[in-house]
Amino acid sequence: MRKTVRHLADGREIIYFDETPAERNAVDTRDLPPVAATSEIRRDPLTGEWVAMAAHRQTRTYKPPADLCPLCPSKPGKPSEIPDADYDVVVFENRFPSFSQGVVGEESTVDGLGLVPAAPGRGRCEVVCFTSEHNGSFSGLSPRKVRTVVDAWADRTEFLSGLDGVEQVFPFENRGEEIGVTLHHPHGQIYAYPFVTPKTSRMIEVARAYEAEHGRPVLGDVLAAERKVGTRVIAEGEHWTAFVPPAARWPVQVQVVPHRQVPDIPALTDAERDDFAEVYLQVLKRCDALYGRPLPYIAGWHQAPVNQDRDLGWLHLELFSVLRSKDKLKYLAGSESGMAVWINDATPEQIAERLRGS
């Protein structure tokens, strides 16, 4: 794989990941204003969780027509975010970031009262374009292309983890309008947070308590149990197993877990990266066949925090969908949204059986 770093008209980085050597000398000819991110984070005094405020994102691109897609390669008279006429995998800094290294300000408290801590939303947000094909999908990629994407995720995780103030790196893909996608070109994002996210904090807390009691990683024991019983397993390779979690919250939910404990994507071996591509493509094809239509989903990597508790993390990918039947959505109503108590309309065993049969 060949990596090439260039810059867009407003100074943002763009990084090409090519499967074969390619010259990347195209110039971004657009007249773009400088990126003006004004992100702030505030900590909720009742939960201790950080919330990001990014009002500048109200003006971000919203459902453009296909011929004006900003993620397609540039064409004569139609420049896009990617100056070149074609690409394999490309990553660039988000023009409307939730977190940015360029945010100015100091740590303070809201209204100066000392009750609600506030700080600049320093971090970084990147867009990952999986393919130059506008009407493609991740499930339609070749194993080789998926491997290129994995290598790009690893590269960006390593880079972003080294940025000042970054505490966690989260690569993810949103797919489908039901999820809230406003750009249909196959792509994902990477958030470099200035704090450890609430979900990861809770998982680390549970992992610490479990290891103190049992002397083993909790996800390792879950993985061993799922492989032994097999009831919820939907795909398996030499280095990865994909299964519906035994306490699944969503109508469709799959965890893809490596057989070896590693903290993050950069720690994966070549063999593990290749095997992930094969297993994950099986998962995606089963998901798309479930209702006979492209499944809207969120897929995200759970990686260990950058600067703490790395020995307690166990890398894994989680995919879930709000679609509970071909034309019905699961809405997060009172119990889920109000109290974070989930009620699933199907058992994990039923979900797994449907996916295996699709």
Give the residue carrying structure tokens 């996800």.
Answer: 219
Are 187 and 129 contacting, i.e. CB atoms less than 8 angstroms apart? yes
Query: According to the annotation, is 259 in a ligand binding site?
Result: no
Are 130 and 171 contacting, i.e. CB atoms less than 8 angstroms apart? no
Q: Are residues 171 and 237 in the same domain?
A: no
Q: Are residues 336 and 277 in the same domain?
A: yes
What pLDDT, on a 0 to 100 scale, did the predictor assign at position 227? 98
3-state secondary structure of 159: helix
From 180, 197, 214, give the residue that closes a domain.
Answer: 197
pLDDT in tens, 151-195: 999 999 999 999 999 999 999 999 999 998 989 999 999 999 999
What pLDDT, on a 0 to 100 scale, did the predictor assign at position 274? 98
CA 236 to CA 147: how far, in whole Å?
17
> End-to-end alpha-carbon separation of the chain, Å?
34
CATH code, 60: 3.30.428.10
Cβ contacts of 61 within 8 Å, gap of 6 or more: 70, 96, 182, 183
pLDDT in tens, 304-356: 999 999 999 999 999 999 999 999 999 999 999 999 999 999 999 999 999 99
Question: Containing domain of residue 175, as a range?
Answer: 2-197
Q: Are residues 15 and 137 in the same domain?
A: yes
List 56, 184, 187, 302, catalytic entry: 187
Dig out the tokens for 246 from the structure.
Answer: 């035994």
Q: Are residues 207 and 191 in the same domain?
A: no
Q: Are residues 125 and 239 in the same domain?
A: no
As beta bridge partners, residue 116 has none
In terms of pTM, does the model score above 0.75?
Answer: yes
Query: According to the annotation, is 129 in a ligand binding site?
Result: no
pLDDT-above-90 percentage for the chain = 91
Give the residue carrying structure tokens 């453009």.
Answer: 64
Query: According to the annotation, is 72 in a ligand binding site?
Result: yes
pLDDT in tens, 102-141: 898 999 999 999 999 999 999 999 999 999 999 999 999 9
Q: How many domains does the chain have?
A: 2
pLDDT at 61 over 70: no
Query: According to the annotation, is 134 in a ligand binding site?
Result: yes
What pLDDT, on a 0 to 100 scale, did the predictor assign at position 351? 97
Q: Are residues 159 and 240 in the same domain?
A: no
Number of H helices, E strands in the chain: 6, 17
Average pLDDT, the chain: 95
> Does 56 participate in catalysis according to the annotation?
no
* DSSP 8-class letter at 170: E
Are 343 and 333 contacting, i.e. CB atoms less than 8 angstroms apart? no
